[in-house]
Amino acid sequence: MHPQTVLTLALLPSLSTAAETVLGVYIFSRHGDRTAKSTPPTILTDLGYSEVFSSGTWFRNHYIANGSPAQIHGIAPDIVKLSQITASSPLDSVLMPSALGFLQGLYPPVGSTLAQETLRNGTVVQAPLNGYQFIPVGVVSSGTLSEDTAWLQGSGNCANAIISSNNYFISPEYKTLDQSTRGFYTSLGPVINATIPADQTSFKNAFTIFDLINVAEIHNATIPSSDLLTNDTLTQLRTLADTHEFNLAYNASDPIRAIAGATLAAEVLQALNKTVAGAGKAPVTIQFGFYAQFQAFFGLADLTQTNPDFFGIPDYASTMTFELFTNAAPSPFPKPEDINVRFFFHNGTTGNNSAPVAYPLFGRTDNSLPWNDFVTGINKFAIGNQPAWCEACGNSTGVCASPSTSSSRSTSTGSGSSSSGGVSKAVAGVIGAMVTLAVILGVEAIVMLIAGLRLVKKNRLNAAMRQGSDTLKA
């Protein structure tokens, strides 16, 4: 090849990215390394803290800091502007600390020069912790839109989804695998029998068993009968857990099973639309959530067709990123026609040598798609309001009670599964009460978290977690 051609080709990628401006991102992340589910209380480990901190630092160096390759248009580079960032996590002793750890990386302490102020009387006050920045983390059961928490409670609260997931346990696929893996699981008895009784050591508990051994492989120097845990065995344990969890989260012919992905999709759409419709408002959303939400979304968005790796459980600190960008001038704020969306996934901790990879959504071939096509694609499965949630879930009690009496007023405009219909007054009252409760719990949780991660009252936390234990597949 002619040397000049080589040079031109080498320049091309950087030229094309230079013309591009990022307008906003939605980041959905799994927590970092933690202790095992079967040895409660489950807590974030130091390793896990480092993982989410590393991810947060990478995202800072990619989207926030001055000189970043994809710095978001108008973003505050050092001192956080709270109007620009929305963070949320369920009230959980692993996810909430993970979110805080990630945010520490995203907006680190401002340093002693910036972290000081001069009082009226001339005294200079230095902020503690080198100017640690506070970013409130909204407490939600599974999403960022606390106004609408009721419909965001995930599959654990959705009648039809519970039925659908349970159907997996009577499916021929499940029964076949359960039978054919009896010997395999029994052979692992000596490794796990201190924690999991023999009659529970089967494919039915594929995830719990995988989780226990996976955690031990990372943390425990004295695993009993560890010679049984060959690489092949470990791979098989993981693959079986992948199959088990994916099938609980998604079934192509029974979409309600993926309700956790459908509500997540609506949250992504609504958050990004806030930026598009609001001309650059609230450009950064960060949400921490469960691996089952990833898996349900992978299924719904046809990512499994793009790459079979998406059938697997995402590793700790994995992230999905939805990036809004434009090739037009970023100011004045571009029209929706000039805005595109790109999806990235990163399996595990993001760091300098391991960046997220772009994948095409909705079975397409191109990694980026026009905003309007993204809206159309995601609206095929997004469930974004209370009436649609109640209808899809087949729920008719609680917040879903008597839709005919009070909702006619506010939801006259169609009942498409994704139209942003209103919520009836009666329902709004209930939601209001729940939001208040969530806010109270949230403030308490943040105070306790600041006071010391391990001081969180276990009873209360466990009670909160039990509420949605079916969905807490973190």
Ligand X SMILES: *[C@@H]1O[C@H](CO)[C@@H](O)[C@H](O)[C@H]1NC(C)=O
Site residues for ligand X per CB under 6 A: 61, 119, 121, 123, 150, 157, 159, 167-168, 171, 173, 189-190, 193-194, 219-220, 222-224, 231, 238, 242, 247, 251, 253-254, 269, 273, 277, 309-310, 312, 314-315, 347, 352, 375, 395, 397-400
Beta-sheet pairing, 339-346 with 357-359? antiparallel
Minimal distance in Å, beta carbon 211 to ligand X? 13
Minimal distance in Å, beta carbon 81 to ligand X? 22
Q: For 345-385, where are the alpha helices, taking DSSP H only?
A: 371-379
**Residue-wise over 202-224: b if at least 16 C-beta within 10 A, else e?**
bbebbbbbbbbbbbbeeeeeeee
Which residue number, 325 or 359, has a Cβ lying nearer to ligand X? 359
Answer yes or no: are the C-beta atoms of 311 and 167 closer than 8 Å: no
* φ, ψ of residue 456 in degrees (nearest 5): -55, 130
Minimal distance in Å, beta carbon 50 to ligand X? 10
Answer yes or no: are the C-beta atoms of 154 and 468 closer than 8 Å: yes
Beta-sheet pairing, 284-288 with 85-89? parallel
Nearest residue to the partner ligand X, using Cβ: 312
Minimal distance in Å, beta carbon 134 to ligand X? 21
Bond from prior residue into 128 cis (ω within 30 degrees of 0)? no
Question: What span, in angstroms and rounded, lies between the C-alpha atoms of 277 and 443?
Answer: 30
Minimal distance in Å, beta carbon 21 to ligand X? 20
Question: What span, in angstroms and rounded, lies between the C-alpha atoms of 336 and 116?
Answer: 42
User: Which tokens hold the place of 195?
Assistant: 């924690």
Q: How many residues does the chain have?
A: 474
Which residue number, 172 or 332, has a Cβ lying nearer to ligand X? 172
Which residue number, 94 or 269, has a Cβ lying nearer to ligand X? 269
Which residue number, 163 or 448, has a Cβ lying nearer to ligand X? 163
Which residue number, 98 or 251, has a Cβ lying nearer to ligand X? 251
Which residue number, 214 or 287, has a Cβ lying nearer to ligand X? 214
Question: What span, in angstroms and rounded, lies between the C-alpha atoms of 387 and 399?
Answer: 9
Answer yes or no: are the C-beta atoms of 142 and 289 closer than 8 Å: yes
Taking CA atoms, 51 is separated from 36, 284, 285, 336, in Å, by: 17, 20, 19, 36
Minimal distance in Å, beta carbon 62 to ligand X? 9
**For the packed helices 231-249 and 159-168, what is the interaxial angle rounded to 10 degrees?**
140
Which residue number, 229 or 448, has a Cβ lying nearer to ligand X? 229
Minimal distance in Å, beta carbon 4 to ligand X? 30
Answer yes or no: are the C-beta atoms of 117 and 68 closer than 8 Å: no
Question: What span, in angstroms and rounded, lies between the C-alpha atoms of 351 and 57?
Answer: 8
Minimal distance in Å, beta carbon 159 to ligand X? 4
Which residue number, 137 or 344, has a Cβ lying nearer to ligand X? 344
Minimal distance in Å, beta carbon 294 to ligand X? 8
Which residue number, 8 or 176, has a Cβ lying nearer to ligand X? 176
